[in-house]
Structure 1
Amino acid sequence: MSSGQTSSDDTVCEGTSNDVKKLQNVFRVTVEGKKQLSGFHSRRAHRKSRAGCLTCKKRRVKCDESKPDCSRCQKRGLDCCYASEVSLSNGARSLDEAFALEDPTTTFFTLSLDNVTRGIEETLSFDINWKPDALWNSKSTHPMSTVAFQNFVRGATETMANPAIRDIMRTDMIRVSFTSAHLMYTILAVGMLHLNRVSPSKERSLAESYFWLHAIQLYQKALSSSVSKDNVDALLSSCMLMSVMTVCPERFAVTDSWVLTNRPEAMNWLCFQSGLRCILTLASPCIPSSIWATAFAGINKEERQIFDGAQQGRDGLDPDLADLCGIDDLTTEKTSVYYSPLRILTSLLQLERNAPNSGHCTSFMGRLECDFLDLLRKRDPPALIILAHWMGLMCCVSQWQPWIEGRIRGECVAICMFLEHSTDPRILRLLRFPADSCGYRLDDS
């Protein structure tokens, strides 16, 4: 997205070139397993009508594309289904409801999944690199894409603690996905990731890498055009879902942490979380008309009550943390890089530990500014202590946020290992909470 780019749509949201460059850099991610995918080749670009109804496509007859029902289906009394509408059956209000209506062995359930399969293929057929037969589940009668999609709706969305976000992901976002290839790929990638972490499989691992590769490539391409009311829902949805890729890697060992390896790039998973904040800034004029508007407004209202809003001083802060960070009664966020993260952390630590509040705790990552991230990259002890306390908190609410087992607990252990030999008694005292929470036994324990 270049600065000054315009559109005929009055709701186009423009950002500065620096904002766009930052956002695109966030998604410049290397997908593990990319070499394994070298066997997939692009097809030659070609023109093909793809807007007809799925019923005509199945019968291999020409569709006049009339809506809500094409003339052929009306004439023959057939159910007319367009991919973008994801018509399942019997007035099902969401895919999750349709999947749950009948036992998977019934014809009804199979027909519903067949509709989903056709809808996915219809959506991804706009991507010239899509090969519907490239990935097939040897243990299922349905392709990997359908298995991943079903698992996203029935499994991955269950990990969302916020009910408003969860409901949108299962309804409005699903409808949007049938009009956006990058969002569809992202949903398939998250669904396959969730299934892989529960039940690892080499076959599914390849599929996950394949979906992530195409999701990121198409998302980067989408970022090169202006954000408008027509694409804001897909862009926001993909951005929100992509963060799961870096916090739930397929394999993560404590020794992989940037803290122990001294590889700054190993901290990219945390920098990645700033992507949503960047795109929210760029898309702010479009958000009121977005499918996410009501949910975001509700979250903002709740968080205004959670965070104390203090702008100066150490009142309410843990004395040891305040001392370690050099915060006194005159300190503000303008005079100390530690002030804002510590204020946010303090508010989160005071929350009752339950499912709704666990969702608010996850927002900490996305609130970290670049100057604080730079301190973390340099393994600055006060910054690491603040981050370790947040990670310890996430370990305490892991029953509602199981994704933290992907890397957050391991990163917390790594910070404890790095700092446990410090000669500063304040650091050793402050390590107690994160170490106990993540299950690491300190040397002096």
Structure 2
Amino acid sequence: MRSTPIGRRSHRKSRAGCLACKRRKVKCDEGKPSCANCERHGVPCSFVGTVEPVRLEHEAASPAISARHDGAAETASPSIGLSQATSTSSLPVFDMELLHHYMTSTCYTLSRIPSIQAIYRDEVPRVGFTMPAVLHAMLAVAALHLARTDPSRRDSCIAQAHMHHQTAVQSVTPNIPTLASDNGVALFLFSSLTCISACASIPSERSFLVLFEQGRLANWVLLFRGTKTVIEYSSHDFNKGKLGPIFMNGAQSAAARDPQTFEKGLMYTWELKQMIGNKFVQDLPLRRIYEETLDALSRTLGVVMKPGEGPRLQTADVFAWLLEASDEYLELLAKEEPVALIIFGYFCVALRQIEWMWWMEGLSGRLMSQLYSVMDEKYRGWLRWPQEQICWVPGTI
């Protein structure tokens, strides 16, 4: 008796094929990390018992494949609009775990104020489901947080965080001009999350002071500085909308423009301001750049150095200075001009005040180490006060 129907070609069934081929009931060549069928159709390929690090290596090797893993809407190029639905069985398990970790743990570590915690818990995922870049940024932060809470998975979590961060930034950067007016809330949340990722990530050899990549401002810095324009020109009222608690609770919101706050901060920067005035007597434009930058930093120090203010401080209270610093100053900083470096050293003192946040921990020391390594010997004395304030000793990281 024939074992197969007439006219039907027999073939050996694939007992260990991938899940996608089994669902489609087609023969799988069992190629790993991705079989030929899945490669041809551009869909995720997974096998029962396959370990997660293999998938991470596969994604890290090909950004295009990584984009396909994040949804059909990003197959050709990252999309800013609504993402198309994907079947639950095709979602990467690691990313689903990161989403769960963010919702149950990470979101509560991004602020000590309950109303702001609620924004990170409720608004960020809601916006992320309509703007994939926000979702990627959220998962990047969750992966970095998980790397801290579970050291045994540190390498795989950091690799996943890097992939999500890069995908998020690359998808938004070219579209900022068209997004500023209609997606102000999304851009603000996205910029906040990418700032957290950048501060928490291990710096690469190409980065300098977190702000620069290969001598140029990092994309996340451009996005972060763009939030000032977004807030000014967006059709959304940030003070009265769903993000209101962020703007109402920040210590900078009222105190930063108080003349007394500036006077309090000036006592930390007075000697440096005198040095700038004496050094650039003949170069008034350069003197103006440095003095305006230092005045903005004085206002920030006046806020963050207030006794008892530490637990109430938000990221924006410190990073407000990064929004006020001029393009001219940042260009001088990128060129490693001594006075620009010294001013940034004083900024490290402000950063130190919010290192109770897990993503800021140790950042001031890492930055001071970079500053000290490129600083000319005759200017290093000007870093003594910042070094004492952040408890950093030359030769340490």
Superposed pair shares fold, TM > 0.5: yes
Tell me the secondary structure at the aligned position of residue 362 of structure 1: helix
Tell me which residue corresponds to 1:351: 306
Shift of 1:342: 1.9
Find the partner of 1:381 among 331, 338, 343: 338
Shift of 1:431: 1.2
Q: In 2, are the aligned partners of 1:182 and 1:218 still within 8 Å (CA)?
A: yes
Structure 1 pair 362–171 and aligned structure 2 pair: CA distance change class (3 A):
same
Tell me which residue corresponds to 1:410: 366
Partner amino acid for 2:357?
Q
Tell me which residue corresponds to 2:377: 421
Distance 1:298 1:41 in 2: 37
Q: Quick check: 1:211 aligned with 2:164?
A: yes
Name the TM-score, length of structure 2 as normaliser. Answer: 0.64
Structure 1 pair 221–388 and aligned structure 2 pair: CA distance change class (3 A):
closer
Partner amino acid for 1:417?
S
Shift of 1:280: 2.0
Tell me which residue corresponds to 1:139: none
Q: In 2, are the aligned partners of 1:168 and 1:292 still within 8 Å (CA)?
A: yes
Tell me which residue corresponds to 2:185: 233
Tell me which residue corresponds to 1:370: 327
Tell me which residue corresponds to 2:61: 35
After superposition, residues 128-147 of structure 1 pair within 5 angstroms as 136=92, 143-147=93-97
Tell me which residue corresponds to 1:54: none
Distance 1:333 1:195 in 2: 47
Shift of 1:355: 1.5
Partner amino acid for 1:389?
Y
Distance 1:324 1:364 in 2: 21
Bigger proportion of residues as helix: 2
Q: In 2, are the aligned partners of 1:392 and 1:434 still within 8 Å (CA)?
A: yes
Q: In 1, are the aligned partners of 2:83 and 2:131 still within 8 Å (CA)?
A: no
Tell me which residue corresponds to 1:88: none
Structure 1 pair 324–296 and aligned structure 2 pair: CA distance change class (3 A):
same
Distance 2:275 2:325 in 1: 19
Runs of 5+ unmatched residues, structure 2:
1-58, 74-78
Distance 2:91 2:177 in 1: 29
Q: Deviations over 1:162-221 (max 9, x none)?
A: 624323112233333333333222212221122234434443344334433443344346
Q: Deviations over 1:68-93 (max 9, x none)?
A: xxxxxxxxxxxxxxxxxxxxxxxxxx
Q: In 2, are the aligned partners of 1:435 and 1:441 still within 8 Å (CA)?
A: yes
Distance 2:269 2:174 in 1: 45
Q: In 2, are the aligned partners of 1:186 and 1:242 still within 8 Å (CA)?
A: yes
After superposition, residues 257-276 of structure 1 pair within 5 angstroms as 257=208, 263-265=214-216, 270-271=221-222, 273-276=224-227
CA RMSD of aligned residues (A): 4.4
Q: In 2, are the aligned partners of 1:375 and 1:383 still within 8 Å (CA)?
A: yes
Partner amino acid for 2:347?
W
Larger RCO (CA within 8 A; separation ≥ 6): 1
Runs of 5+ unmatched residues, structure 1:
1-32, 48-122, 137-142
Shift of 1:323: 1.5
Tell me which residue corresponds to 2:76: none
Tell me which residue corresponds to 1:248: 200
Q: Percent identity?
A: 16
Partner amino acid for 2:336?
R
Tell me the secondary structure at the aligned position of residue 288 of structure 2: coil
Q: Deviations over 1:37-94 (max 9, x none)?
A: 4545759x999xxxxxxxxxxxxxxxxxxxxxxxxxxxxxxxxxxxxxxxxxxxxxxx
Distance 2:288 2:374 in 1: 24
Tell me which residue corresponds to 1:433: 385
Tell me the secondary structure at the aligned position of residue 379 of structure 1: coil
Shift of 1:432: 1.4
Partner amino acid for 1:264?
G
Shift of 1:273: 3.4
Distance 1:129 1:438 in 2: 48
Tell me which residue corresponds to 1:57: none
Q: In 1, are the aligned partners of 2:351 and 2:363 still within 8 Å (CA)?
A: no
Greater shift in the superposed pair: 388-397 or 281-290: 281-290
Partner amino acid for 1:343?
D
Distance 2:207 2:165 in 1: 21
Q: Quick check: 1:195 aligned with 2:146?
A: yes
Distance 1:364 1:307 in 2: 13
Distance 1:262 1:206 in 2: 19
Distance 1:42 1:315 in 2: 52
Distance 1:224 1:131 in 2: 33
Tell me which residue corresponds to 2:352: 395
Q: How many residues align?
A: 318
Distance 1:271 1:324 in 2: 30
Partner amino acid for 1:204?
C
Shift of 1:321: 0.9
